[in-house]
A and B are shown apart, each in its own frame.
Chain A
Amino acid sequence: MTTSAGPVTTAHDPFVHPALFYRDEQEYLDGTVSFVREGLAAGEPVAVAVPGERLRLIGDALGGDAAHVRLLDMREAGRNPGRIIPGVLRAFADSHPAGQRVRIIGEPIWAGRTETEYPACVQHEALINAAFRGRAVTILCPYDAVRLPGPVLDDAYATHPTVIPAGSRAVRDSAAYAPDAVVSRYNEPLPPVADAMTFPFVAESLTAARHAATDEGRRLGLTGVTLEDLALATAELTTNSVLHGGGSGVLRIWAEDGHVLCDVRDGGRLTDPLAGRRPAAGGRRGGRGLLLVNLIADLVRVHTGDDGTTIRCWFPRRRP
């Protein structure tokens, strides 16, 4: 593996992104703890973002070294997969000098992720490759080879250029690596909605659309910060439709299980797969609305194509 700063090609990309398959706690710790210790020994900044119970396992195994590692509960920091790149991975990588290799363990897909969440999770894993192309960053993604369904494990071979098979220490190239195809394949139509408050909008009715969303959100049980978040998300998504989605759109608000959902559909096509996944600082001026939505919502799903774009986001009725 080269870390040369020369022309970036796939073959010489300094970005390293292996999937680590594990069958039990011991294999998990063998793979993750050695990865952390190698980084610390090389003087690299190290972060670990995995579900809380596994974070404790790694922290205990590291002992005193844990104090030198940034530890994050992925169930919180990465609840919405769309915020993991800007809010977790780039937030850590960008806080160190360019050229200084950083090392991160990121486990965004765990047994228990729902079918509704999964398309956003796997698209996130695929988009990491585009987001970090050319950068001196190593991101190791553990996969539970026992409890995750077979198709999920197959997808990990398509979203990671290299893999570490269960029980192995050897890093192998993944012949199935095809991240763009994964992004396209999971660009799925969103599940139909039975009954929702529906509000068609144009530029002149953006304020009315936001008020309608807030009224409906309140009626459905949102309060405080979460109700503010619904208003912010509605404003950003409807404004994007007016500016970039053909000038108009349709807003829908409804409740589903423990969430209030906000869905905005317009006639535009989202052509930038990293929209809403670049950090605000130093980034381009547009796209920050979608970044905010990613940061505040529990889940964001997108479907885009020739027929238009739908963005749906989930807000919790009660913060657990």
Chain B
Amino acid sequence: MSDSRQRTPDGPEGPRPILTVRPLEGCGGVRAAGEVGLGTHMIWERVLEQAVRGGETVYYLELSEVTFVDVAGAGALVAAAERLGDGRRFVVRRPPPGLRRVLEMLWPDQPGVEVSTT
């Protein structure tokens, strides 16, 4: 996967949302940094789409540098996980605490999304 970056200079409204994504070394997946919200949903959904189309049994999302994921971002993850099928799953590593909270409240017991704190 190629580097996918989108950054706009800070405007008068304050910091613009960014989400940068780069491939993980040694296993299938990506390391993301920034936040998942209205301004970055397209980047996030593109990552998830590539994961669904790829063949990995386990697709890692390393999120230790992601500060926030909104409900639509969590919903996109769940929707992508439901399309994985055949025992495949996402492993979400070190997500921001709000993502775990949203998954617990809205989509508990999702077999396709495993949250790992290590």
Contacts and interface: CB of A to CB of B under 8 A. Distances in A.
A212 to B, nearest CB: 9
A235 B70 contact: yes
A292 B16 CA distance: 25
Given A207-B37, A239-B38, A243-B38, A291 B106 contact: yes
A185 to B, nearest CB: 31
A301 to B, nearest CB: 20
B34 to A, nearest CB: 10
A185 B13 CA distance: 38
B107 A292 contact: no
Given A206-B38, A239-B37, A243-B38, A285 B75 contact: yes
Interface string B75-111: 1000000000000000000000110011001110000
B108 to A, nearest CB: 9
Contacts of A292: 71, 102, 105-106
A245 B7 CA distance: 26
A243 B37 CA distance: 12
A267 to B, nearest CB: 18
A288 B15 contact: no
Interface stretch (A57-65, A73-81, A158-166, A225-233): A225-233
Contacts of B101: 225, 228-229, 232, 296
B68 A210 contact: yes
A207 B17 contact: yes
Contacts, number: 71
A232 B35 contact: no
A239 to B, nearest CB: 5
A205 interface: yes
A201 to B, nearest CB: 8
A285 B70 CA distance: 13
Contacts of B37: 206-207, 210, 235, 239
A313 interface: no
Interface residues of A, number: 28
A294 to B, nearest CB: 10
A242 B72 CA distance: 14
Contact of B105 (A206, A211, A295): A295
A287 to B, nearest CB: 10
A22 to B, nearest CB: 33
B11 interface: yes
B14 interface: yes
Interface string A215-249: 00000000001001101100110010011000000
B45 to A, nearest CB: 12
B39 interface: yes
Given A235-B37, A239-B37, 6 more contacts: A205-B13, A210-B68, A229-B101, A239-B72, A280-B107, A285-B75
Interface of B: 11, 13-17, 35, 37-39, 68, 70-72, 75, 97-98, 101-102, 105-107
21 contacts: A202-B13, A203-B39, A206-B38, A207-B14, A207-B16, A207-B37, A211-B14, A225-B101, A235-B37, A236-B71, A239-B38, A239-B70, A243-B38, A280-B106, A281-B107, A288-B71, A288-B106, A289-B70, A291-B106, A292-B71, A296-B101
